[in-house]
Amino acid sequence: MSAPEPGLLPRMPPAPNERSRQSLLDAVMNASYDGICLVSPEGTFLEMNGAFERITGLRREDWIGRTIGEMRTSPGMARNSAALEVLRGSYPATTLVNLRDGELMLVTASPHFGESEELESIILNVRNITELNHLKRNLEKRRGDSLLAENEVPGLRDRLAKVGLGEFVAQSSAMVEIVSTVMQIADFDLTVLIEGETGVGKGVMASLLHRLSRRSDKPFIEVNCGAIPESLIESELFGYEPGAFTGASREGKRGYFEAANGGTIFLDEIGELPKGSQAKLLKILDDRMLVRVGGTHARHLDVRVVAATNRHLRDLVLQGQFRADLLYRLETIPIVIPPLRERPRDLKALIYTFIRTLSQEFRCDREISSEAVGHLMSYPLPGNARELKNLLVRLVLTCQEREIDVGHVAAVLRRQNAGGDADDGTAVPGLDADGPSRSMRDRIEEFERRLLAECTRRYRSTYEVAEHLGLNQSSVVRKMKKYGIRPHAFQRGG
């Protein structure tokens, strides 16, 4: 069979009623982003589109009319051929081909049979996998940016930026309703009770309420009622007069309420407050007057009270552990924040937000694939946003590639679910140990210390460590001094 004239398909001139159909097929072929090529049953290249030339880097006139065998022996051409596999077995075949500059091309060859079930042609489809991965990363970044840019609360984004909470996420209908309520009540001195599981952002919501209020330029004092010993709770909250008890300061001391005067006091874990202190708090809420421990003089207070709890206060009332009258007083405006597992839109937006802010904080360029996002969203996250951020810190710091993929997420979650017994190389030291008592700062410092110690064993100087970590050499020296890492740990002086 003689080769067709270059650039022409071996076909009869279309009938008038077929011309429009043929024109459409030609337009579809040329508009395809994938490379498409037609090969005859004898292995001769018949036709190809512009994308095929672009991806392969070879000119059309060099291919049309030539056979697979001829092209395989040409310099720089791949020896594995999907089209040849089809000719040998009449079944679809796929191969991976290395292109110029290390790029990867996926070639799929599909046989086309006529009515007589004889092979009529082979359709080659080629894709630049490297290019598609790059486009995918850009698309994910745009999706993330678009998701973060959405906001259904009119004017919220501008107001948040002005008060320093530009990264606040409110995409779900539940959070939109909550934030709308906060915006409406911010300027009214109403007592607010925020309820929700550990890590849902009760402290962030209290801060938002304060920053949007007319008290925003006054103190915001946060008190964890469960972290203060019961014997000290009243003196810490309400202050004490000189000589009020053994060991008391001779000058006396003002408490958290006085420190918050004019502003807002946030009483976290209010359910842990002892009943005796509950009575005193109720009097302050009713009278706006405070008497220090050991004193008789009442002091006027101008303070807004925001309380939060992860416990069911009504159950505590039934158990006799919490005063019903205090609960009613705190519940002037109740706000219940649902867990992240019930707010998938917020969860997705938080993932992109944390990835962006952590990449900036740790000065590394990290992105996350849609598959990895989906895997994270399927995890129940009992610790909510706090646990999510810890997981993403671990991923950002330990992932060696630019893109965090589903494999990285699965490895970290496996280790977390295993209780940290096995070390698969993905864990950040300190993030799995010691339970929730360790702060984020402590955990990050522990990771820095171990990372620097490891680098001193791998590299020969502080300059090499700095280059590897993307830091200034002076920063490396300062951090080594901070963590007590001595220069003699280097293979050869630093």
| Encoded amino acid at 7, one letter | G
Q: Which pLDDT does position 256 carry in this prediction?
A: 96
Where is the domain boundary, 309, 338, 367? 338
Domain assignment present for residue 465? The answer is yes
Neighbours of 59 (CB within 10 A): 9
C-alpha span between 481 and 457 (Å, rounded): 16
Where is the domain boundary, 128, 145, 171? 128
Domain assignment present for residue 373? The answer is no
Domain assignment present for residue 8? The answer is no
C-alpha span between 348 and 148 (Å, rounded): 9
Residue in the structure block whose two tokens are 């290249």: 45
- For residue 387, give the nearest of 198, 166, 173 by alpha carbon: 198
Domain assignment present for residue 250? The answer is yes
Domain assignment present for residue 148? The answer is no
Domain assignment present for residue 353? The answer is no
User: Does 247 lie in the same domain as 101?
Assistant: no
Q: Which pLDDT does position 214 carry in this prediction?
A: 92
User: Does 320 lie in the same domain as 253?
Assistant: yes
Q: Are 228 and 189 spatial neighbours (Cβ–Cβ below 8 Å)?
A: no
The CATH code of the domain that includes 98 is: 3.30.450.20
| H or E stretch covering 314 | helix 313-318
Where is the domain boundary, 113, 128, 143? 128
Q: Which two tokens stand for residue 119?
A: 């092979």
C-alpha span between 437 and 435 (Å, rounded): 6
C-alpha span between 154 and 141 (Å, rounded): 25
The CATH code of the domain that includes 204 is: 3.40.50.300
Q: Are 395 and 412 spatial neighbours (Cβ–Cβ below 8 Å)?
A: yes
User: Does 239 lie in the same domain as 97?
Assistant: no
User: Does 427 lie in the same domain as 387?
Assistant: yes
pTM value is: 0.59
Q: What residues are paired with 289 via a beta bridge? A: 300
C-alpha span between 304 and 343 (Å, rounded): 29
Q: Which pLDDT does position 16 carry in this prediction?
A: 54
Domain assignment present for residue 137? The answer is no
User: Does 262 lie in the same domain as 187?
Assistant: yes
User: Does 119 lie in the same domain as 163?
Assistant: no
Neighbouring C-alpha atoms within 13 Å toward the C-beta of 228: 24
Domain assignment present for residue 320? The answer is yes
Domain of residue 457 covers 379-487
- Cα–Cα–Cα angle for 72, 78, 81, nearest 5°? 70
Q: Which residues of the chain have pLDDT under 50?
A: 1-9, 76, 148-149, 151-152, 420-437, 491-494
User: Does 394 lie in the same domain as 305?
Assistant: no
| pLDDT tens digits along 76-107 | 455 557 777 778 776 788 777 776 666 777 78
C-alpha span between 273 and 338 (Å, rounded): 24
User: Does 456 lie in the same domain as 324?
Assistant: no
C-alpha span between 258 and 255 (Å, rounded): 6
Q: Are 373 and 366 spatial neighbours (Cβ–Cβ below 8 Å)?
A: no
Collapsing DSSP states into helix, strand and coil, what is residue 219?
A: coil
Q: Which pLDDT does position 432 carry in this prediction?
A: 43
What is the chain's length?
A: 494
Q: Which pLDDT does position 106 carry in this prediction?
A: 78
User: Does 161 lie in the same domain as 120?
Assistant: no
How many domains does the chain divide into? 3
| pLDDT tens digits along 368-424 | 988 888 889 888 888 899 999 999 999 999 888 888 988 899 888 888 776 543 333
Q: Which pLDDT does position 272 carry in this prediction?
A: 92
User: Does 417 lie in the same domain as 454?
Assistant: yes
Q: Which pLDDT does position 33 carry in this prediction?
A: 78
Residue 186, Ramachandran bin (φ over 0: left; ψ between -120 and 50: alpha; else beta): alpha
Reduce the secondary structure of 285-304 to three states and give it as a string: HHHCEEECECCCCEEECCCE
Q: Are 51 and 32 spatial neighbours (Cβ–Cβ below 8 Å)?
A: yes
User: Does 314 lie in the same domain as 212?
Assistant: yes
Q: What are the C-alpha distances in Å from 391 to residues 47, 197, 355, 388, 443?
A: 51, 18, 11, 5, 12
Q: Which two tokens stand for residue 101?
A: 């500059």
- For residue 306, give the nearest of 256, 270, 259, 338 by alpha carbon: 270
User: Does 322 lie in the same domain as 202?
Assistant: yes
| Encoded amino acid at 97, one letter | V
